[in-house]
Homo-oligomer: A and B are copies of this chain.
Amino acid sequence: MTTLKDGDLVLLVGRDRKQYLLRLRAGQSFYTRHGSLRHGDIIGQPLGREVRTHLEYPFLVLEPSTADLIQRIKRNTQIMFPKDISHVLMRLDLFPGRRVIEAGTGSGGLTLALCRQVMPTGRVYSYESNPEAQALARANLEALGLLPYVELKIRDIKEGFDETEVDALFLDVRSPWRYVAPAARALKAGGFFGALVPTANQVSDLLEALQGHGEFAFTEVEELILRPYKAVPARLRPADRIIGHTGYLIFARRVVGGLDKSWALTEQRKRQRLLTEEDEDE
Contact = CB atoms under 8 A, between A and B. Distances in A.
Interface of A is mostly: mixed
Interface residues of A, number: 101
Contacts of A190: 2, 47-48, 61-63
Interface string A229-266: 11111111111111111001010011111011011011
A165 B46 CA distance: 12
Interface string A196-223: 0011110111011001000001111111
A75 to B, nearest CB: 12
Given A174-B282, A192-B65, A204 B90 contact: no
Contacts of A16: 268, 270
B48 A255 contact: yes
**What number of copies of this chain does the assembly contain?**
4
Contacts of A7: none
Nearest to A190: B48
Given A17-B267, A265-B231, A253 B48 contact: yes
B83 A49 contact: no
B95 A15 contact: no
A86 interface: yes
Interface of A: 1-2, 13, 15-17, 46-50, 58, 60-63, 65-67, 77-78, 82-83, 85-87, 89-91, 93, 95-96, 116-117, 119-120, 130, 165, 174, 188-192, 198-201, 203-205, 207-208, 211, 217-245, 248, 250, 253-257, 259-260, 262-263, 265-268, 270, 281-282
